[in-house]
Every structure is written in structure tokens, then in C-alpha cells.
Amino acid sequence: MNRIRDRRFKSTLALALAAPLALTGCDGGKGSWRHDPGGSDTERSSPQAGYLTPPRAVSAVLQADGVELQGEAAPQASVRLGSPTGEALVGRADADGRWRLRAPPAAAPRLFGLSMTLEGRTVQAQGYVMITPEGKLVLLRAGAGAEVTATASDAPRILAVDYDRSGGGVISGVAAPGAGLGVRVDRAPRAEGKADEAGRFTLSLNQALKAGVRTIQVAGEGGEQQVDVEVAPPAPPTGGPVRTTRTPIGWRVDWMTPGGGVQTTQLVEGGAR
């Protein structure tokens, strides 16, 4: 995050970026989330090995029998999406490094750890891959704004609001590529920045979000969008690393970060298309 004032949120981000995420347990068995502070075994024992770009999920398509996920990995690598419930989706990237996996239908959002294995080396993607029942693909990032799959937009669109227990927050979404943007919370200026070349923006608030219904506005080139978000401290998940709740504007997700904290991601329906 660029200027977030909450020290706990910064600490969580540093821990998350210092190490990848992994899911232990065999396919179909009961797995558990763990934090691997040293990377994959092969990378530790063979520092001269060539760098492998981590895998990533790039799109999701809702179909009658589930959600088809598509992504990128090293050519011919084995690709695995593992959930804390023990569910595992396994496939292989083709010669061009493209992979496809199908997740069955579900009534609530699901989290997965994404990894690939090639010639004995396992590389994990940073962040958690989340799939909503509506087929939306989201990358949850500790200490940073969620990345919701969406194309650039002529007018700014808020896709997600992230915050921690102390209210340190990030607003993320899409706008016109390179557009200058400003964020107001309850009419007070709280952040400014620009969308990147793909039209994606992640703006850190310079003051904590207070509990209660907050009016968040993102304005810039092409227009503005405003949304009312009910801010409440993250609820510790029970029975797993995530708790999902339906709200008037979309899914609220309280999830455990690799550093042991809890972060809230509030998705904004209608923001992505």
C-alpha cells in the first residue's frame, strides 16, 4: 500500500509479500492453510535454478455446470487450485502455458491457493483466488486492494473496498487507462492517484474508515461513482480461514491473511462487467 497509516496493515502486507501461500494435504483430503516462509523446497536447495513466473488466473466464465477458470503458467506445468476444505482442482498447462479448470457450482464464494509444479519445482501464486457463485474472479491480496476481473471503463467504477480491524483501507476498481482519480469518504478527500495502463486502480486512504455507513466516491476523467458501504470490524472466521456474508451491495468476505490478521473485502456488485 502506498500511504496507509495503520502499522498492523503494513506488517501484514510485508509478511504476505515475503513468502508465498500454500495449501497442505492430499487431493480430496482435508487440507489446512499454512504460510511457507522460505518458498518451495526446490528453490531453497537450488538457488541457481532459473526463475519461474508464478501462475495466475486470468478469467472465469459461469456455465450451467460450474465456473470455468482460465489462466497462465509455465508450459506443461501441473496446475493446482486447492481449498481449505480439501477440494482440489488439478490440471496441466498446454504448450503455450494456458490452463483451464472447472469448479463445480457453489452457494457461497470459495477461496483457493494456486500453485504450479514443473520438473520437481513448485511455485505458488501470491494472494488467494476467490470465485463467487455468480462466476466473478477475484484475487485477494493481504494489505492491498482486491483485484476483480474487469475491463477498463470510460468512467471510474468501484469494484472492492478492503479494510482491516483498525480501518486502514484501500479502494480498488477500474477506469480509463491513465486516468487521474480522487477518492472522497463522506465528502472528505481521502486519496488520489491514477489508473494504470490496463485501467486498474488501487488507492490507499490517508485516514482510517470509521465504523458505520460510509459514502465512498471515486471521481476523475470520465465521471464518478458513489457507493454506501457499511464498515464493521472484520469478523474472525470460524471453521476455516474465511467467512462470507451477503450485503445489499454484494459479498462481504472476512478472511485470514498469511500474517495471522483478518481482512475484510467488500465486493461492489454492478461495478464489474
Domains of the chain: 21-125 (2.60.40.10), 147-267 (2.60.40.10)
Asked if residue 69 has pLDDT above 90, the reply is yes
pLDDT for 271: 53
Q: Rounded distance, CA 74 to CA 190, Å?
A: 40
Which amino acid belongs to residue 92? R
pLDDT for 114: 97
pLDDT for 126: 86
Find where cell 490507499 sits: 204
> Comparing 22-26, 183-187, 244-248, which segment has the lowest mean pLDDT?
22-26
Q: Tell me: the pLDDT tens digits for 192-244?
A: 999 999 999 999 999 999 999 999 999 998 899 999 999 998 877 887 889 99
Sheet holding 157-163, edge to edge: 200-204, 169-174, 157-163, 262-267, 250-256, 242-247
Which amino acid belongs to residue 113? G
> Does residue 231 contact residue 167 with C-beta atoms inside 8 Å?
yes
Q: What is the mean pLDDT of the chain?
A: 83
With bands split at pLDDT 50, 70 and 90, how would you rate the model's confidence at 187?
very high
CA distances from 163 to 36, 99, 145, 185 (A): 24, 32, 9, 14
Asked if residue 256 has pLDDT above 50, the reply is yes
Percent with pLDDT over 90 in the chain:
68
What is the rounded average pLDDT of the residues 65-85?
A: 95
> Comparing 22-26, 82-86, 107-111, 174-178, which segment has the lowest mean pLDDT?
22-26
Give the DSSP H/E element, type plus range, for residue 12: helix 7-18
Asked if residue 4 has pLDDT above 50, the reply is no
- At 222 the three-state DSSP class reads coil
pLDDT for 235: 76
Which amino acid belongs to residue 197? E
Q: Find residue 191's DSSP bridge partners.
A: 183
Residue scoring higher pLDDT (135 or 273): 135
Q: Rounded distance, CA 203 to CA 183, Å?
A: 8
Q: Tell me: the pLDDT tens digits for 42-68?
A: 443 344 457 899 999 999 999 999 999
Q: Rounded distance, CA 118 to CA 114, Å?
A: 14
Q: Find residue 96's DSSP bridge partners.
A: none
pLDDT for 12: 36
pLDDT for 234: 81
Asked if residue 178 has pLDDT above 90, the reply is yes
